[in-house]
Amino acid sequence: MRKLMKIGIVVLLVLVILIVSVFAIFALDLASYGATGSETLNPSGNSVGRALVVYDPGLSGAAKQDATRIANDLRTKGYTVDLAGVRSGTAGTKSGYEIIIAGGPIYFGQMASSIDGYLKTLPSNTKIGVFGSTGSSTFSQSDFNSTQKQVAADVKNSNVTIKMILDGNETNNCADLVTTLTE
């Protein structure tokens, strides 16, 4: 009986540790602390302007891939693009850009906390794009509406465009966001 009780306590303890660990990863958004790099992408011809694309890679890295697609689309349209992790020095410099796009993963219908905080610091005289990588094709319209309301409350800018990037349709959604902001 005592042996069975000890095994039960150990199993319960392991489960509690696992649950707390998973919650900490999502709640603290630990992946964003590795997003300190940046690079500049130059257009093949004359530059029509400057753009900043900021990302939190998330646990899977899908948001960084989406940010890279967006940056390349902007470069193709003639922009000089700074692609930067949310914790980089480049991301902290928000002046001198015609377009700023920020995004990261969406966990449980909420934008990653690092991007949520970043959005609150953006200037009001710049075109702002926001993308959220869901990593799931089951992201519902209700989830989108909830996340969109959260983002709109964070960004004090009437020029904001929000695009959720669903698993399986990344390329089209990234291109749509860039087209909307560059028209």
With pLDDT > 90 as the criterion, what percentage of the chain qualifies? Answer: 21
Span 112-120, mean pLDDT?
84
Strand partners, 126: none
Please state, rounded to an integer, the average pLDDT across all residues of the chain.
Answer: 79
Taking the C-alpha atoms of residue 165 and residue 111, their distance in angstroms, rounded to an integer, is 12
Domains and CATH numbers, the chain: 31-182 (3.40.50.360)
Distance CA 154, CA 21 (A): 28
- 0.85 exceeded by the pTM? no
pLDDT at site 75: 96
The per-residue pLDDT for 5 is 84
Taking 60 as the threshold, does the pLDDT of residue 121 lie above it? yes
Instruction: State how far the Cα of 177 lies from the Cα of 101, in Å rounded to an integer.
Output: 9
- Of 132-136, 152-156, 164-168, the one with minimum mean pLDDT is 164-168
Instruction: Retrieve residue 60's tokens.
Output: 């899977």
> d(Cα 142, Cα 105) in Å, to the nearest integer?
17
Based on the number of CB atoms within 10 Å of its own CB, is 164 exposed (0-12), middle (13-18) or buried (19 or more)?
buried
3-class DSSP state for residue 112? coil
Averaged pLDDT, 113-125: 82
> SS3 breakdown of the chain: % helix, strand, coil, rounded to 5?
45, 25, 30
Q: How confident is the model at residue 169 (pLDDT cuts 50, 70, 90)?
A: low
